[in-house]
Copies of this chain bind each other. A is one copy, B any other.
Amino acid sequence: MSENNKIGTYRFVAEPFHVDFTGRLTMGVLGNHLLNCAGFHATERGFGIATLNEDNYTWVLSRLAIELDEMPYQYEDFSIQTWVENVYRLFTDRNFAIINKDGKKIGYARSVWAMISLNTRKPADLLALHGGSIVDYVCDELCPIEKPSRIKVTSMEPASSLNARYSDIDINGHVNSIRYIEHILDLFPIELYKESRIRRFEMAYVAESYYGDELTFYKDYVGDGTYDVEVRKNGNEVVCRSKVIFVGK
């Protein structure tokens, strides 16, 4: 297979209710599109959720890191490319490029996925699946952004808290991966979004949370426009961590 055939390309438009007050696509919506592209690309190659579910397996997102020079503006066309960078026994790295209306690459993303058994909730051996054919899709396309980092939050003072409600919950009964992004973006005052934009956004998904869980958000400012965020449920257990790096416009 040529390297080009290993890359999936999907087209989008920045819809009016998907942009923020500056007219730029929100990070939550971009995250949603990235995860959809991962699904399309995997499905087209026989590794989609529907096929996996038949064998009682599913994909679980572990890490996501997005880095951008700019976000698409309202009504602008853009596209997302995705490909598999690595496959290990328990994890696979999937990368993305975000391409603007003029065909220019305006950002990249990295994601790390595991496959789990729906029966045991234990990780599956990716190299054993479909006779190891997943490695045929590994592609050496360039993704010039750093890998997801380790995030450590020290603040003991909650920045915010909420109870997970109807709109937060996905078909698996979990708070959905995109809602965490939206709740984290809402920790920052609008003034910050007026004078700066998010250059890099990272998520580390650690544990699931459920309807009614109290989610508490802890936030450290670590200098240079960088914030580390930790979300805990019901007082202690870590649900996810995030790093948000703002730069002046």
Task: Please give the residue numbers on chain A whose beta carbons come within 8 Å of chain B beta carbons, in ascending order.
Answer: 15-17, 19-23, 26, 28, 32, 35-36, 39, 49-50, 74-75, 165-167, 169-173, 176-178, 182, 185-186, 188-190, 193, 211-212
Q: 21 interchain pairs (CB within 8 A)?
A: A15-B32, A17-B32, A17-B35, A17-B36, A17-B176, A17-B177, A19-B170, A20-B167, A21-B166, A21-B169, A21-B211, A26-B167, A166-B186, A166-B189, A166-B190, A166-B193, A167-B182, A167-B185, A167-B186, A169-B190, A190-B211
Q: Which of B16, B23, B28 is close to A167, meaning CB atoms less than 8 Å apart?
A: B28
Given contacts A16-B49, A19-B170, 5 further A-B contacts (CB under 8 A): A16-B35, A21-B169, A21-B171, A165-B190, A166-B186
Asked whether A171 lies within 8 Å of B15 as measured between CB atoms, the reply is no
Q: Which residues of B contact A188 (CB under 8 A)?
A: 166
Asked whether B32 lies within 8 Å of A173 as measured between CB atoms, the reply is no
Q: Which of B26, B170, B186 is close to A16, meaning CB atoms less than 8 Å apart?
A: B170
Q: In the docked arrangement, what's the CA distance between A19 and B186, Å? A: 22
Copies in the complex: 2
Q: Which residues of B contact A23 (CB under 8 A)?
A: 171
Q: Which residues of B contact A16 (CB under 8 A)?
A: 35-36, 39, 49, 170-171
A16 to chain B, nearest CB (A): 7
Q: Which residues of B contact A167 (CB under 8 A)?
A: 20, 26, 28, 182, 185-186
A139 to chain B, nearest CB (A): 24
Q: In the docked arrangement, what's the CA distance between A36 and B49, Å? A: 28
A74 to chain B, nearest CB (A): 6
Q: In the docked arrangement, what's the CA distance between A161 and B225, Å? A: 31
